[in-house]
Amino acid sequence: MLRHDLYLAWRYLSFHKTRTTILIACLSLMGTLPLGLHSLLDAGERQMTARAEATPLLVGAKGSSVDLTLTALYFGEAASPAITMAEADRVGASGWADPLPIYSRFRVKGQPLVGVRLDYFDYRKLAPKHGELPALLGDCVLGHDAAENLGLKPGDTLPTTPENLFDLAGVYPLKLHVTGVLAQSHTPDDQAVFVDLQTGWVIEGLGHGHTEQKPAARPQALPFGMAESTLQADARLVTYTEITPENIDSFHFHGDPAGYPISAVIALPHDRRAATLLKGRYLADDLKTQIVEPPKVTRSLLHNIFRIGALFDGVFALVGAVNLLALGLVFSLSLRLRRRELETIYLLGCSRATVFKLVLAELVLLGLAAAILCRLLLLAVDHYGETWIRQFLLS
Amino acid sequence: MIHIERLQFRYPGASFALDIPEFHVATGERLAIVGPSGAGKTTLLKIIAGILPVREGRVTVDGDALDPLNDAARRNFRITRIGFVFQELELLDYLDVLDNILHTYRINPVLRLDRGVRERAAALAEEVGLGGKLDRSPKELSQGERQRVAVCRALLPEPALILADEATGNLDPANKVRILDLLFRAVERRSTSLVAVTHDHELLPRFDRVVDFLQFHR
């Protein structure tokens, strides 16, 4: 008999497709929204905590410790103010910690462009899945997701572009050579395009390669001041936009490298005492830099996020209750509309209990379909949650 | 087939009362009941079908006394012995023609829906000219076709007694005749009886007997 109840319920629900779809969507969203939010928060917590726990100390510009942490660890778009390379030297010279300078001011086609030294890859346990790590000026290695998003592989090139039309002195257009693609790490490193720090400074405009050109020869050799791989910088100079074996020797930097910008320095203290001593160095108020403990910053950030999450729980509970009441109203109104039909079923010999069972079977099917949809949506959240967190929350 | 003695019925709180001292229908008889609206014709059919309880008097249908039966027993009696074509037929739009004919079997645990029943339902539909429309929704049918589906639904359990409440009420003359032919054919083939409430006086000569219900209204 249950088979017939379910069959009749199925026929009724499939006949009223629009109504059924709306009911299922409402019911499933009532479950998906709070559970999905918690799943996302858990994924965010896992990801942020793991990354932060692996980064004991971080030195950066004074100001928001959250911005500094998001910039240096998660390569967020809201970059914190730059510090100079001297700060990395200072950490190294202290003898208490090994410095890992990071420069993550730029983005290339939406992906963060991160300048690091080779020891960063050892520290984060990042190894190339295809190709190799950048060895020369102008080389880059792509994180797993960045390679997918950009559709690039080793041997391809990736041009950087000025950040905007008015940033004339800003980003130097440089054609990067992709030397490798990193294995997936399920961390923000997957999103990044890594270059050597010096390449980062070339893009910043602090280093360049050029050859002198005789003014008289220019109009014939370079009509409109342009050539395929070169850009006319001024009346006398042709500045290279691609670093090749032929022109790499012409690349040079002006000024003191200690004054070059970086975003932050990851400090890897040798022991707990060294960490304490290093932290003590940054206690003075007049310093332009600060040292932060990413695990503490992250815990504080997560605490706030979970408070907001709890607020959302309350909102979802309220919306869910209202939704449930509305669904109850819709269902009771539909029963009223079906009064004649249900009366006929009764007249045909069906007991009131069986009529109730028929209605119950519809509710069971609706609930089942909503639960399946909810489960599928939650699976999607579980599967893509960490990526969404990286792309939307931490960027 | 039907024996009624001293039947009295009154809806709670209503001034209307049904009072039938004696009423009989023979097996195989085709009886028409006429009378003004509100005279109690439908009420009598519902009592004979076991939908309404017998509170006073004695009602026997096909040898079974209805007055001592409780709700569940009357329901079982209705399912297995009565084919009821309702005044306001209610076909379900979300079921196709075949499922509407089989509907009684799907909602009653005492009836078993098997291959034989399905074949019988299809044959019935074929007989009334709906063989090619088994998978149609009732919404796609004409009023006459819908009424034929309702008749098939009533006849499928092979009832001992067919009750028809204004079964031809909303039909054109051709369809009225067609439905009546269908019911009469079922009576002849299955040795059942037919009690039909009707306002169609042109159809009355075709019945074996006509009872004016005004005599039972008090």
Question: Between B27 and A164, where is the model more confident?
Answer: B27
How far does the CA of residue A323 sit from the closest CA of chain B (Å)?
A: 27
- Per-residue pLDDT for chain A (395 aa), expressed as one digit of tens each? 678 889 999 999 999 999 899 989 988 988 888 888 888 888 878 877 888 888 889 999 988 888 888 888 888 777 678 899 999 999 999 889 999 999 988 888 888 999 999 999 999 999 999 999 988 888 999 999 999 999 999 999 888 876 554 544 456 678 889 999 999 988 889 989 999 998 888 888 887 777 665 554 444 454 444 555 554 555 556 677 778 877 777 787 888 888 999 999 999 999 999 999 998 888 876 778 999 999 999 888 888 888 887 888 888 888 888 888 888 888 888 888 888 888 888 888 888 788 888 888 999 999 999 999 999 999 998 888 777 776 665 55
Q: Indicate the helix (H) or strand (E) that contains B159.
A: none
CB contact under 8 A, B86 and A341: no
Q: Do B106 and A8 touch (CB under 8 A)?
A: yes
- Predicted pLDDT of residue A233: 52
User: What's the half-sphere exposure (Cβ side, CA atoms, 13 Å) at A126?
Assistant: 30
A338: nearest CA in chain B? B92
Whether A344 sits inside 8 A of B86 (CB atoms) is yes
Residue B101 has pLDDT above 50, yes or no: yes
Residues in chain B closer than 8 A to A345 (CB atoms)? 103, 107
Closest chain A residue to the Cα of B85, Cα to Cα: A348
Query: In this complex, is the C-beta atom of A347 within 8 Å of any C-beta atom belonging to chain B?
Result: yes
What ipTM is given for this predicted complex?
0.82
Has this prediction a pTM greater than 0.80? no
Which is more confidently placed, B14 or B62? B62
Residues in contact with A71: Cβ distance below 8 Å, sequence separation at least 6, in sequence order = A60, A78, A79, A80, A104, A263, A264
- What count of residues does chain A have? 395
Chain B: closest CA distance from residue A9 (Å): 10
The residue among B79, B89, B90 with the most chain A CBs within 10 A of its CB, best to mutate, is: B90
Instruction: Please report the pLDDT score of residue A217 as a whole number.
Output: 47
- Cα gap A210→A231, rounded to integer Å: 10
Nearest C-alpha neighbor of B177 from the set B154, B202, B155, B194: B202
Q: With 60 as the cut, is the pLDDT of residue B120 above it? A: yes
Instruction: Look over chain B and give the mean of its residue pLDDT values, rounded to a whole number.
Output: 86
User: What is the bridge-based pairing of β-strands A175-182 and A128-131?
Assistant: antiparallel
Any B CB within 8 A of A340 CB? yes
**Can you give chain A as a three-state secondary structure string?**
CHHHHHHHHHHHHHHCHHHHHHHHHHHHHHHHHHHHHHHHHHHHHHHHHHHHHCCCEEEEECCCHHHHHHHHHHCCCCCCCCEEHHHHHHHHHHCCEEEEEEEEEEEECCEEEEEECHHHHHHCCCCEEEECCCCCCCEEEECHHHHHHHCCCCCCEEECCCCCCCCCCCCCCCEEEEEEEECCCCCHHHHCEEEEHHHHHHHHCCEEEEEECCHHHHHHHCHHHEECCEEECCCCEEEECECCCCCHHHEEECCCHHHCEECEEEEEECCHHHHHHHHHHCCCCCCCEEEECHHHHHHHHHHHHHHHHHHHHHHHHHHHHHHHHHHHHHHHHHHHHCHHHHHHHHHCCCCHHHHHHHHHHHHHHHHHHHHHHHHHHHHHHHHHHHHHHHHHHCC
3-state secondary structure of B5: strand
